[in-house]
Every structure is written in C-alpha cells, then in structure tokens.
Amino acid sequence: MTVKHHLTDDLLMAYSAGDLPEAVNLIVATHISLCDECRAALGSYDAVGGAVLDTCDTVEMSTSSLSSVLDLIHSQDSVEAGAKIVAPEPDRVLPAPLADYVGGSLENVRWRSAGMGVKQALIPTSEDATARLLYIPAGTAIPDHGHHGLELTLVLKGAFQDEGGYFGRGDIEVASEDLNHTPVADISEDCICLAVTDAPLKFKGLVPRIAQPFLGI
C-alpha cells in the first residue's frame, strides 16, 4: 500500500500537542497507523515537544501523586485471577485505533441508510466534532457539497475520486471551506471511509439539504 495523500503539518502538530477534538484525534491516529510518512513526521514533532518540555521550569508535586496514579492504573488493569485473556483477531479493514471505537470489527458496525445505497454509522465522540463510517457502493456519487468548516475523509477500503484527486486505502483528504467536491466511489469496489467534520456540510441539491438534519451531516 502506497499512501499518496497525507495530513497537513498543522494537524500533525496539533495532534502532537493534544489540541484536537476527540473525533479529529481518532482520524489522525487511524491515518498515522497506515502511513509511514506521517508517523515519522509525528515523531519529529513529538521530539520537538519533548525538547521544549526539558527547558521548562519544574513544578513540585504532592507526595501522594505517584500512589494515586498507580492506584488508578491497577484499578483499570485488574482482571479476575486465573482468567485467560484472548486477543481479538485484527480486522483487515479497520486499523486498531478505529477498531477500538466500534467494538473490534466491521461486523459490529450498526449501519443506517443515508440514501442511494450509501450507509453511515455515527461513532460516539465528544461534541466538538463528528466522526462517522461511510459505506459507498461502487460507482456511487456523494452529492455535490462544500464545507462550513473542516472535513477529513480517510479511505479504509476501496477508493474514491473527486476534484482533489484519487484516494485509495490510507489516503486522507483534508477539505476546508474553499473546496466544493463530488466524491465518487471507484467502480471496481465498494468504498468504506472514516469521515470527520467539525461543522455541517453545505449541500447544493434540495433533497440532500432536506435529509441533512435527519442524517446529522
């Protein structure tokens, strides 16, 4: 797999600094798990952040800080004595960061129809941005739309093409307010994407605008 479309430096720096909404964190982490180039870039930003921390003044902590943290770790990691832990089989479509959010695999995703054969599944995250899985049948077009904010679309299976180029597995499209596009799934295979938005989309057609409140897009 060769990833051709990557995250912006601004997104990688914000992810490293912990400044992104949960839904955006999710799609960035999922892309990084598939993209060697962005993973290496993130490592560089993390190193810079660590160097900055080394120059900061230290702050004295309370004597109970360490014991409090250890107690929290033990309470979360404790398992019944003698219980056998079996690691789930990795999903071939969903990378680990995303699989953890949907219960392990695509079989656990609760799809809802969005019309024209397209299906979506909302992923619970904090309210400052929205994450959803999209299933787009081969050759199907998503209605022409623009953006009131940021839209990130990561391909997990298949591919799609729009005004920004051709996007296959691992590719991520970063769409801002200046992009209007009509994504079309490649005819060769159904397309599954992870999409994150921090504001409603701007649809041109009447029918998508009517359906928009019901679909949460």
Q: Which residues contact 85 (CB under 8 A, 6 or more apart)?
A: 79
Domain presence at residue 82: no
Cα distances from 170 to residues 28, 33, 36, in angstroms, run: 11, 9, 10
Q: Look at residue 175 and give its three-state secondary structure.
A: strand
Domain presence at residue 45: yes
Distance CA 124, CA 130 (A): 8
CB 176: neighbour CB atoms within 10 A? 11
50-88 pLDDT, tens digit each: 554 456 566 566 666 566 656 655 554 543 344 343 344
Domain presence at residue 86: no
Domain that holds residue 140: 1-54+93-217
Domain presence at residue 100: yes
Rounded to two decimals, the pTM is 0.80
Domain presence at residue 48: yes
Domain presence at residue 8: yes
- Beta bridge partners of residue 167, listed in sequence order: 160
Domain presence at residue 78: no
Domain presence at residue 70: no
The per-residue pLDDT string of the chain (217 residues; one tens digit each, 9 = 90 and over) reads 799 999 999 999 999 999 999 999 999 999 999 999 999 999 999 987 555 445 656 656 666 656 665 665 555 454 334 434 334 455 689 999 999 899 888 999 999 999 889 999 999 999 999 999 999 999 999 999 998 899 999 999 999 999 999 999 999 999 988 899 999 999 999 999 999 999 988 887 877 777 767 677 7
CATH number of the domain where residue 44 is located: 2.60.120.10
Count up the domains in the chain and report the number: 1
CA 13 to chain centre: 16
Which burial class, exposed, middle or buried, applies to 209 when counting CB atoms under 10 A from its CB (0-12, 13-18, 19+)?
Answer: middle
Q: Which amino acid is present at 175?
A: A
Say if residues 204 and 143 touch (Cβ distance below 8 Å): yes
Distance CA 170, CA 154 (A): 6
Beta strand spans in the chain (E) = 112-115, 118-123, 130-136, 145-147, 151-157, 160-162, 165-167, 172-175, 184-185, 191-197, 201-203
